[in-house]
Structure 1
Amino acid sequence: MSRKKGVAPRLAEALGIVLGTEEIPMRLRAWDGSEAGPPDAPVIEFRSRRGLRRMLWSPNQLGLSRAYVAGDIDGPGDLFESFSVLSSVGKFAELKAFRPPTVGERLGLVRTAVRVGALGLPPTPPPEEMNVTRAGRKHSKKRDAAAISHHYDVGNEFYALVLGPSMVYSCAVWEDESVGLDASQEAKLDLVCRKLGLRPGMRVLDVGCGWGSFALHATQNYGVDVVGVTLSKEQAALGRERVTEAGLADRVEIRVQDYRDVHDGFFDAISSIGMAEHVGRDQIGDYASHLYGLLRPGGLLLNHAISWNAGEMPPDPDSFIPRYVFPDGEMLSLTVMIGALESAGLEVLDVEALRRHYGLTLRAWVHNLEENWDEAVRLTSEGRARVWRLYMASSALGFERGLNGVNQILVQRPGGEEPPLRRREWV
């Protein structure tokens, strides 16, 4: 009597039919202990039938993400290899012109789904998705405040585990791949200061100031006075503590304030580091115009933001990252961002692409999270930690493949002194 076929071999056969290939590019491990697929390929583990149901009801990135966040599937080996092969399979299925399944093969797929228990009602999304608030008009001040709170008020201790001592939550600038994260983040902060031409006595606005790292660096090293604004109460609380501990409470002010409510210009320079992604396509023109109005004539603005490089269509607003990580976040193309800044009357002086740098930064953050996994789970929850792990690892792959970019755009409000002829001051 032949041995009953396990779940993993059935899944491997079904995946092979869907992809039109005899050898799938991964090794499958199922909840019954069975395995199938090339022995040296990255392992994808199905821990329960519920993971299959999630993927059948949402056969796209969202279903896969829900299954991972809920712990229904996992990549127990190298996380980046696992995510990379899943991504490549999706791309393969999307682009490869393979023979469509025959009627008999389709019936076989249905029988497989029945035998492995994949059929059933759609599972409830993980609670981390249900907690996202999308009430009210998109990018209204109230809704933006709720979206920022969802992402940044996870807990300062949690972010300290991931970001390290620098407490900088944006792309670092790496001299080379061997330089550590903290040194690379300091290099980024200093690069922004140099591009803005900071000098003692200047008044600087830091839009989306986070935990105050740029404000502290600029004040301590360049003698400027800084006003930092954030919508995160937890960020502001820790930022103020750090400012007080540094003895700079008379030089640095951290506010819980929407940038649209800042009206006490003029500022000699403005930094916006990793904040413009929260503004939105429809509001980006008003964002640029408002910052223009806060700059003195001749003042400089450094806009550091992620860009969407994968074609004219932006990412699906209902996919994993908008649902779990950045509610209402929107990545704009470099063309759109520069167009908004120029339309506001600002002159572009310099653009620097840092795409590869963000891949390195995200890999360093994933390493920190995995090194402190138990503590991260204790501070939040396993689901929340898995959200951040998936988000950072998949984003790293996105930057490495060129789907996303990140750019520093230096612009000037006309009037005042002319910019330098060459960029020697900051290269």
Structure 2
Amino acid sequence: MADAAPRLKSLVERMLGAPLPVRIRAWDGSQAGPPDAPAVVVRNRRALRRLLWKPGELGLARAWVAGDLDVDGDLYTVLDLLTGLVWERGEETPRGTLARARGLAAALRDPEVRGAVRELARLAGPPLPPAPPREEARRARGHLHTRRSDKRAISHHYDVGNDFYEIVLGPSMVYSCAYWPSPDATLEQAQHDKLELVCRKLDLKPGQRLLDVGCGWGSMAVHAAREHGVRVVGITLSQEQAAYARKRVADEGLTDRVEIRVQDYRDVVDGPYDAISSIGMAEHVGAARYLEYARTLYALLAPGGRLLNHQIARRPHRDEAAYRVDEFIDAYVFPDGELQPVGTTVTLLERAGFEVRDVESLREHYGLTLRRWVANLEAGWARAVRLTSPGRARVWRLYMAASALSFERNRIGVNQVLAVRTPDSGHSGLPLRTRTWN
């Protein structure tokens, strides 16, 4: 009898204490749920075993990456409908939130939830834990954000393959929030405008020295040297990024002005620099190391030098001590990555000695950027799978689509913080009206 989907729907609703807003289509061909809604496809019983052994985001992530779970319909719509059931919405969590491992113990005190879990276990079949997909990051014991652990984490995320990133990012090869003049502009134009915005905020002049921390594939370094005549040192921990960036520099004829290094920011000792750009890198630093990061950059700047710190931020939590890193992101996307509220970032930069002069939110711009990256990936899906793996491509599709919604719904943001190593004279060098770069 094909009844897996109705049973699943009933069980999930009993555990969550809320109606399921999507259809379920199960491995036996059965369906249940709103007829006009997009469907979550449960391809096999293994998906249920993953959720039972790792209840929460990690179990869901493993089922998605392995192809045990899929979506029939618009992925953005499904993610939006499930927000608040699978992911927390602000500070609220539904009854019996099996979707959060930290709420499982409380949920299981509910007799109805315990009964539903037992029924789900019977439906899932033999209680053997499935192996995690091979795309999951291998975690080493020890302290976070050492030079070795940071290099390993960066390699997991960025050494997927330059050809894969070309599919997702397009010709600009800029992996950070673009700056859109309008929603119908091209991604390449918006990324050019972002790089130019950074250069104008830094007030780059010919002959100055720029340090680009986390230089990626060299886009900022090439733009600053070519368009503003500065000498640039770009640093990254990714060997693949560095090789790609060096080739771009050579192709542009800029080898006399741009040097690309595989180097940790903590090991840069050839200051002072007139300006520092850090675009989409500080998310990897970690809360425990952030003040060290800020002090290191401050020491590398000449008096009057400027820092442009472009960084994703999370919303503050009422109980900051209870904040946990997103399990899916930590296991499959950014191992050891940590987000902080923008207020924390500003405070730590000022504790390091900087004078923070401007904070600009680009939150809506990142939603537009991510949707373009998802469209690029979907358009080049077959090649992306060949270059990496089906699981890796699925990781990126889910990660970018979910992130787009998070920016659009104000669950996370992104900010450009302009800070100055103001000299003892107090003269910052900024104009009276600072937004002259707009």
Which band: TM-score by shorter chain?
Answer: over 0.9
Decide which of 111, 114, 124 is 2:131's aligned counterpart.
124
Mapped contact 1:288–1:340 kept (Cα < 8 A): yes
Change (3 A) 1:108 1:78: closer
Between the aligned partners of 1:183 and 1:315, the Cα distance in structure 2 is 37
- Which of 372, 376, 379 aligns to 1:368? It is 376
* Paired residues of 2:84 and 2:93 also in contact (CA < 8 A): no
Q: How far apart are residue 395 of structure 1 and its match?
A: 1.2
CA contact (8 A) 2:16 2:95 kept: no
Q: 1:58-97 residue pairs with structure 2 within 5 A?
A: 58-90=54-86, 95-96=93-94
Q: Post-superposition shift, 1:175?
A: 1.6
CA 47–344 in structure 1, closer or farther in 2 if over 3 Å, else same? same
Mapped contact 1:310–1:402 kept (Cα < 8 A) = no
Task: Give, in whole Å, the separation in 1 of the partners of 2:119 and 2:21.
Answer: 23
Q: Deviation per CA, 1:286-321: give whole Å up to 9, x if none.
A: 111111111111010000001111525375247111
1:411 to 2:419 alignment: yes
Using structure 2 for the length normalisation, give the TM-score. 0.91
Deviant stretches of 4+, over 6 Å:
none
Gaps of 5+ in 2: 97-106
Q: 1:12 aligns with which of 9, 12, 31?
A: 9
Structure 1 partner of 2:328:
320
Match of 2:306 among 300, 311, 321: 300
Q: Distance in 1 between matches of 2:48 and 2:357?
A: 51
Map Cα deviations across residues 308-350 of structure 1 (whole Å, 9 max, x no partner).
1152537524711111111111111111111111011110110
Q: Tell me what 2:51 maps to.
A: 55
Mark the CA change 1:20 to 1:339 in structure 2 (over 3 Å): closer, same or farther: closer
Cα drift, residue 424 of structure 1: 4.2
Aligned to 2:337: 329
**Shift in CA distance, 74/97, structure 1 to aligned 2, threshold 3 Å:** closer
TM-score by length of 1: 0.93
- What is the DSSP-based 3-state SS (H/G/I as helix, E as strand, rest coil) of the residue aligned with 1:89? coil
1:324 maps to amino acid: Y
Identity rate, percent? 56
**1:420 aligned to 2:431?**
yes
Task: Count matched residues.
Answer: 420
> Do the aligned partners of residues 118 and 182 (structure 1) sit closer, same or farther apart at CA in structure 2, a change above 3 Å counting?
farther
**C-alpha separation between the residues in 2 aligned to 1:204 and 1:172?**
21
Alignment of 1:132-151 (within 5 A): 132-151=138-157
Alignment of 1:395 onto 2:403: yes
Which 5+ residue runs of structure 1 have no aligned equivalent? none
Deviations 1:170-226 (A, max 9, x none): 111112211121111111000000000011111111000001100111111111111
Q: Which residue of 1 aligns with 2:99?
A: none
1:109 Cα offset (Å): 5.7
> In structure 2, do the counterparts of structure 1 residues 180 and 257 end up closer, same or farther at CA, with 3 Å as the change threshold?
same
Mapped to 2, the partners of 1:121 and 1:413 lie a distance apart of 58
Q: Please name the residue that 1:35 is paired with.
A: 31
* Aligned-CA RMSD value: 2.1
Secondary structure at 2:309 match in 1: strand
Question: Which has the larger displacement, 310-319 or 79-88?
Answer: 310-319
Which one is further off, 379-388 or 237-246? 379-388
